[in-house]
Amino acid sequence: MVTNSSQEVAQLKASLREMAMVGERADPLVFGGRENIIEDVMQFARRLPPTGPRGNTVVIDGPPGAGKTALICEIARRLSREGASPILQLEPPSRQEVADIYAQLAAALAGAPLEAGRTTTRREAGLAFRPGGIGAVASKDETVAPPSIESPLAVDNLRAGKAWQSDERAVVFIDEIQNLTSNRDADECRLARALHTQDRIPVLLVCSGLSNSQDILERAGLSRIGTGNRFSLSPLAVDEALTCARSTFDLVRNMGLPGSDKAASEWAERVAYACDGWPRHLQNYFNACWTTLGSQDTPSLDSADLEAAMSLGDELREKYYADRIARTSLPIEVLAALQQEIDENQSVTDYQAISSIGYAIDALPATTKQAVRHRFSSDAACFDKMLAVGIVSLDDRKRCVSPIPTLGEFILAEYAAGKR
């Protein structure tokens, strides 16, 4: 499709600007490289209690930028198309959000009002939901407390013995699970345990997060998560990234972006190789492309500045790294010291990592050292923070490694620049 009118051009430019602002939770336009994982999780979601097995909680982990959030969003979209009810929680839930999740489960699986469990409501005369099932009649204008839905059993009781149908099922997704509280009695931990162990309602729990996610879940009381239920993401292979890039550019061309097959192929190849296989970087370079194309008077792959788009993509990638470093609240000297040790040994034990952090903190200027010691209770707490934001990760042997080589290179380059 070729755009000709000024209205079509304006619409295309508006679409490109909108796509350039899309975050990882809606990225990418065409999802590629994880089809086997998607199908495996979909299969778990088709065999749920009370007739299917319990304890089938899925864990999707991997380094920052590996596409975990994009993956669970894509799985949620596909489940929704199948008629299931996905409930997407993009971080460990607060106490109120736990109540909201149970309210959504009650609405999806038991037909309860979505307000259930949230606020006190005023009802007309009729049957009112109560914990354990349908309760007394509420008179007109009487203020009735909503049901206390705080367990899978309470959701099941709302059904009053009605048999489950094959199309009645829900999947609760919790992202950033590495940030789950260490207090196993907290509401969010009790929610995760309840969904993991229950055998009364057709619901599956899917957790995604960084490399220490399974350890965090075990501390919360979710034991015996099967090896077949854990999916550890790694970079996309070159052909997978290339397929995704080509498919995305073809889709945007079908939306009205002019450009020859040759130009589309050239743009796709540059994006695929620049991202090093990391979906988060793939999104950064896509966003850079849409920004560059949208800045043209008449967007076209044939005439737009590909080098300018790649340069902007490099900037977006570096900004992503800088933002992640800032989230540690640690001086670059500490991050660089651990990165250097990892580079020298390929991997280190947690004891070695914590020792390296401690030596680096002790070598800081007095005021900086004091600030770090005040901010963190111990060297181990510093290490946990680095794990939590993905500066380092744990491999299958529980050894500390650098999750993304270019992130490690960026840390060392920033450290070197600061010394000059």
Weakest mean pLDDT among 56-60, 65-69, 320-324, 360-364: 65-69
Tell me whether residue 305 is in a domain: yes
Calpha distance 392→383 (Å, rounded)? 9
> Residue 403's domain spans which residues?
327-419
Q: Are residues 246 and 331 in the same domain?
A: no
Q: Are residues 257 and 221 in the same domain?
A: no
Q: Are residues 319 and 336 in the same domain?
A: no
| Radius of gyration of the chain from its Cα atoms, rounded to whole angstroms | 25
Q: Are residues 105 and 222 in the same domain?
A: yes
Q: Are residues 251 and 294 in the same domain?
A: yes
Q: Are residues 228 and 245 in the same domain?
A: no
Quote the pTM value: 0.80
Tell me whether residue 271 is in a domain: yes
pLDDT band at 134 (very low <50, low <70, confident <90, very high): very low
From 232, 258, 274, give the residue that closes a domain. 232
Tell me whether residue 381 is in a domain: yes
Residue pair 314/320 in contact by the 8 Å Cβ criterion: no
From 232, 248, 274, give the residue that closes a domain. 232
Q: Considering only CA atoms, which of 61, 63, 66 is closest in space to residue 403?
A: 63
Q: What is the model's pLDDT at position 172?
A: 98
Tokens of 133: 């099932």
Q: Are residues 220 and 241 in the same domain?
A: no
Q: Are residues 160 and 252 in the same domain?
A: no
Q: What is the model's pLDDT at position 21?
A: 85
From 271, 296, 325, give the residue that closes a domain. 325
The predicted-structure confidence for 213-232, as pLDDT tens digits, reads as follows 998 999 999 987 888 999 99
Q: For 139-186, where are the E strands, in sequence order?
A: 142-144, 170-174
Q: Are residues 95 and 193 in the same domain?
A: yes
Domains in the chain, number: 3
Q: Are residues 72 and 106 in the same domain?
A: yes
Q: Are residues 251 and 314 in the same domain?
A: yes
Q: Are residues 64 and 203 in the same domain?
A: yes
Tell me whether residue 131 is in a domain: no
